[in-house]
Amino acid sequence: MAQSLHIDVKQDDDSASEKADRFDQKVKVERIFLIVNFILELPSAAFDQLSSVHKPQYALLSMLISFTVLIISIVDLLLKGRKERVTWMRRGLMPWFYYPYPNSKPFGTFPDIIGLACAFFQCIFAAISYAFLFKHADSSIKLSVWPIIFALGLLFSRISGDTAQKGPKPLVRRLNRAEEFTLAQLAAATNDFSLQNKIGEGNSYVVFIGKLPDGSEVAVKRRDTGYEFQEEDTFFESEITFLSRLHHKHLIRLVGYCEEEKEMILVYEYLKNGSLHDHLHQRNSAKINSWKMRFKIALDAARGIEYLHNYAVPPIIHRNINSSNILLDANWAARVCDFGMSVLDPESVSNYKPKKAEGTVGYIDPEFYSTNVLTAKSDVYSLGVILLELLTGKTAMFKDEDNGGAITNIADFAVPKILANELAKVLDQRISRPEFDKEAEAVELVAYTALHCVNLQGNNRPNITNIVANLEQASSLCDDHTKDHRHRAALYAVHLLISEILDQPNNYNN
């Protein structure tokens, strides 16, 4: 298993390097176009200045160079249009090339239009100038100054266009499927961010439920107006960067965002059943009071994390896995959310800068906390804490009444008892104890998986692929238990029916 995993990861790395090579090739092609234009634009104007009735060949050279510049500009724009799916639109009297981002704003398009227009007119005027000189006649209008103006305009468009591509703004350039909302749109969707629409909050944000004009419900995560933004605070940008490129059925979907008037708002799909934490510790939801449902939720969450660790290119470490960040949709499928603290796996980043240990108390990997060395096994530790929550029904940090009401870590509470073969003492009392062998086996499997996940040594923890395999087996055992239970119930019903039929003659005789 380990060998096959290693091969899979290596193939992903090769794929990533191939993509990087293709990107570098595209950049080189664009630079070649830029350099060629730089070399050709001004000589075209210079030859036009040197041309005369006695030297029409200079006008011919100017025309040919201008025509070459025009062809290069057209090819450059066509390549850009093919790569970025540029569309042509008009706003008022001004034509624009629109990039396919949902905010419907031209980005870096004005230089494209000016550059193309200048190249076109430079070529036309050079041709007119040559036509006059070919007939051994001076132009009736002063043409020589226009090629210089157009060459400088084209030169400016190339420089400004290149600078715009290097700038860090806007975030929109990195988005593929997220929509940019205005503050007014989100205010209308949430009844002006009213308290009635408030469905959650964190240390620096408040979450509102909203309804878009198309009728779809969304969760609007707005930074708390009283929160002072710090330069090193990159939560907003991290969420957009990661979620705009991550697409998996067990990861939250980013619908859009708003960055306006110092507002930083994220818009997600609305998941009707809220967080796993609420159902376990606040709502006392009967829906998840079965081992089958709890293990299904654990499996869904583990599959989402597996996608981040093994299939995202480059791999991603979530860094804040906890039961509040496991959301449940209308069908009780689990999805991992909150990527504000996520980072690329240090092993895949050459210039990685160590991150200080951050996260939710009770879920933070002790090894990461003490060494500041981050690995994918830190997410594994946090997932292990969630597995213990599902088994015990207790929060990650709780008051242990058996220990004088001391604040106790769930791992410190559960691990010794599991090792002592006293699993029954830690199981959630809201769920009936496993009555059949298969369900008991499933509970024991999940318990020992959790025990290994919260090992203090990261190297001794299982990888996420093995965790998914164990949870799949546990879910399968619960399914088999359910089928056996239904089969026994059916047999019992048949037995009762046969007994009634056999008793009927006696009733007639009586």
Report pLDDT for 212. 92
pLDDT in tens, 184-211: 899 999 999 999 999 988 777 899 999 9
Report pLDDT for 108. 41
Residues forming beta bridges with residue 275, ordered by sequence position: 327
Report pLDDT for 242. 86
To the nearest 10°, report the CA torsion of 31, 36, 39, 42: -110
Residues forming beta bridges with residue 327, ordered by sequence position: 275, 335
User: Helix, strand, or coil here: 108?
Assistant: coil
**Pick the residue with more confidence: 315 or 284?**
315
Report pLDDT for 101. 36
Asked if residue 247 lies in contact with residue 298, where contact means CB atoms within 8 angstroms, the answer is no
Give the whole-angstrom CA distance, residue 174 versus residue 245: 9
Mean pLDDT of 254-260: 88
Report pLDDT for 463. 95
Question: Does 461 have pLDDT greater than 70?
Answer: yes
User: Model-level pTM?
Assistant: 0.64
Burial 40-69 (b: 16+ CB within 10 A, else e): bbbebbbbbeebeeeebebbbbbbbbbbbb
Residue 279, amino acid: H
**Pick the residue with more confidence: 164 or 384?**
384
**Lowest-confidence region among 107-121, 137-151, 337-351, 385-399:** 137-151
- Residue 387 CA, distance from chain mean position: 24
Report pLDDT for 19. 41
Give the whole-angstrom CA distance, residue 156 versus residue 44: 16
**DSSP secondary structure of 32-71:** HHHHHHHHHHHHHHHHHHH--SS-HHHHHHHHHHHHHHHH
Asked if residue 208 lies in contact with residue 199, where contact means CB atoms within 8 angstroms, the answer is yes
pLDDT in tens, 22-53: 444 544 555 565 566 656 666 766 666 666 55
Report pLDDT for 146. 55
Q: Are strands 179-180 and 254-260 parallel, antiparallel or unpaired?
A: parallel
**Pick the residue with more confidence: 173 or 208?**
208
**Pick the residue with more confidence: 57 or 143?**
57
Which range is most confident: 131-145, 219-233, 247-261, 386-400? 386-400
Residues forming beta bridges with residue 268, ordered by sequence position: 219, 254
Identify the burial level of 7 via C-beta atoms within 10 angstroms of its C-beta, where 0-12 means exposed, 13-18 middle and 19 or more buried: exposed
**Pick the residue with more confidence: 159 or 464?**
464
Question: Does 161 have pLDDT greater than 90?
Answer: no
Report pLDDT for 109. 47
pLDDT range class, residue 124, cuts 50, 70, 90: confident
Report pLDDT for 481. 58
Report pLDDT for 35. 61
Question: Does 334 have pLDDT greater than 70?
Answer: yes
- Helices and strands in the chain: count of H runs, count of E runs: 13, 14
Report pLDDT for 469. 96
**Pick the residue with more confidence: 376 or 20?**
376
| CA distances to 352, 361, 410, 443 from 382, in Å | 22, 10, 11, 19
Give the whole-angstrom CA distance, residue 179 versus residue 189: 15
Two tokens, residue 416: 């010794």
Report pLDDT for 56. 64
The position carrying tokens 């019903």 is 493
Mean pLDDT of the chain: 75
